[in-house]
């Protein structure tokens, strides 16, 4: 992950820094309105709330589109195109989990042992900021359910596996050099997730894979950020 800001060390009791133009700016803190010491984490907390609010609204929209399409066209349930089956549900969950563990193992090697992997991790750490375990879980579930309902549940039956996977990857494109590998990874992940959906016959498989990969990797990024802040 990218280098983190140093941890703010509180002033000893009875020593409050004077406000003024010489007071250094500290990342993640801001001066109090009264002119005293910095207000710890106010900007970070606000940006984190904005991120979570935006993500919730965005993924909620992704979920609503296929549901609306299913109702309007009287099409099949995207979760179970061939009808509900406990065997498909359990098998899809197991298959998705195994695929996720393989992806997580590979991404862990890339993140820790390659320069571009470390640069990508650092870029994500800057964008996401510090995340709690609950926030990581929420973002992982939102992205896993929302993106799979839209791409695999809605687009893949119409556009096919190849086009859907490429579109999925290209929509993860960020015009920054260190983020380019993420686009390539996303295209490959799109093919894997699409295959899981086609093979298992239920969205449970790609959702389980997608959410688990995002959850573990987001936790890694958050841990990397905390480690950098303490270093």
Check residue 208 and give its pLDDT: 98
Mean pLDDT for 83-87 is: 90
Cα–Cα distance measured from residue 143 to residue 128, given in angstroms and rounded to the nearest whole number: 14
Check residue 82 and give its pLDDT: 83
Number of separate domains in the chain: 1
Evaluate whether residue 5 is within a structural domain: no
pLDDT digits (tens, 9 = 90+) for 101-131: 999 999 999 988 999 888 888 888 888 878 8
Computed over every residue of the chain, the mean pLDDT equals: 81
What is the 3-class SS of 137-181, one letter each residue?
HHHHHHHHHHHHHHHHHHHHHHHCHHHHHHHHHHCCCCCCHHHHH
Evaluate whether residue 189 is within a structural domain: yes
Domain with 131 in it? 62-74+81-230
Evaluate whether residue 208 is within a structural domain: yes
Place of tokens 């109090």: 32
pLDDT digits (tens, 9 = 90+) for 20-58: 443 333 333 344 444 444 445 566 677 778 888 999 999
Evaluate whether residue 23 is within a structural domain: no
151 neighbors 168 (Cβ within 8 angstroms): yes
Evaluate whether residue 2 is within a structural domain: no
Query: Looking at the predicted structure, is the pLDDT value of residue 228 above 70?
Result: no
Mean pLDDT for 67-77 is: 84
Q: Note the pTM of the prediction, 2 decimals.
A: 0.77
Evaluate whether residue 19 is within a structural domain: no
48 neighbors 135 (Cβ within 8 angstroms): yes
Check residue 216 and give its pLDDT: 95
Per the rule left: phi > 0, alpha: psi between -120 and 50, beta: everything else, 23 is beta
Check residue 166 and give its pLDDT: 97
146 neighbors 65 (Cβ within 8 angstroms): no
Place of tokens 């086609």: 198
79 neighbors 204 (Cβ within 8 angstroms): yes
Evaluate whether residue 170 is within a structural domain: yes
Query: Looking at the predicted structure, is the pLDDT value of residue 219 above 60?
Result: yes
Evaluate whether residue 136 is within a structural domain: yes
Check residue 231 and give its pLDDT: 52
pLDDT digits (tens, 9 = 90+) for 186-200: 999 999 999 999 999
Work out the pLDDT band at 227, boundaries 50, 70, 90: low
Check residue 54 and give its pLDDT: 92
pLDDT digits (tens, 9 = 90+) for 148-182: 999 999 999 999 999 999 999 999 988 888 888 89
């Amino acid at each position: 992950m990218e280098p983190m800001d140093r941890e703010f060390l509180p002033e000893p009791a009875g020593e409050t820094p004077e406000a003024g133009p010489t007071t250094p700016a500290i990342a993640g803190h801001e001066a109090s309105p009264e002119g005293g010491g910095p207000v710890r984490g106010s900007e970070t907390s606000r940006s984190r709330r904005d991120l979570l609010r935006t993500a919730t609204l965005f993924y909620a929209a992704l979920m609503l589109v296929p549901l609306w399409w299913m109702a309007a066209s009287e099409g099949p349930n995207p979760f179970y195109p061939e009808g509900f089956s406990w065997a498909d549900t359990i098998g899809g969950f197991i298959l998705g989990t195994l695929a996720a563990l393989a992806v997580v193992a590979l991404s862990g090697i890339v993140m820790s042992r390659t320069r571009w992997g470390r640069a990508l991790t650092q870029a994500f750490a800057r964008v996401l900021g510090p995340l709690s375990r609950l926030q990581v879980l929420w973002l992982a579930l939102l992205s896993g359910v929302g993106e799979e309902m839209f791409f695999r549940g809605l687009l893949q039956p119409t556009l096919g596996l190849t086009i859907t996977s490429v579109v999925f990857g290209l929509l993860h494109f960020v015009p920054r050099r260190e983020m380019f590998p993420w686009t390539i990874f996303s295209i490959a992940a799109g093919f894997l997730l699409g295959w899981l959906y086609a093979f298992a016959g239920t969205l449970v498989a790609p959702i389980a894979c997608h959410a688990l990969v995002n959850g573990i990797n987001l936790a890694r990024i958050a841990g990397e950020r905390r480690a950098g802040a303490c270093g």
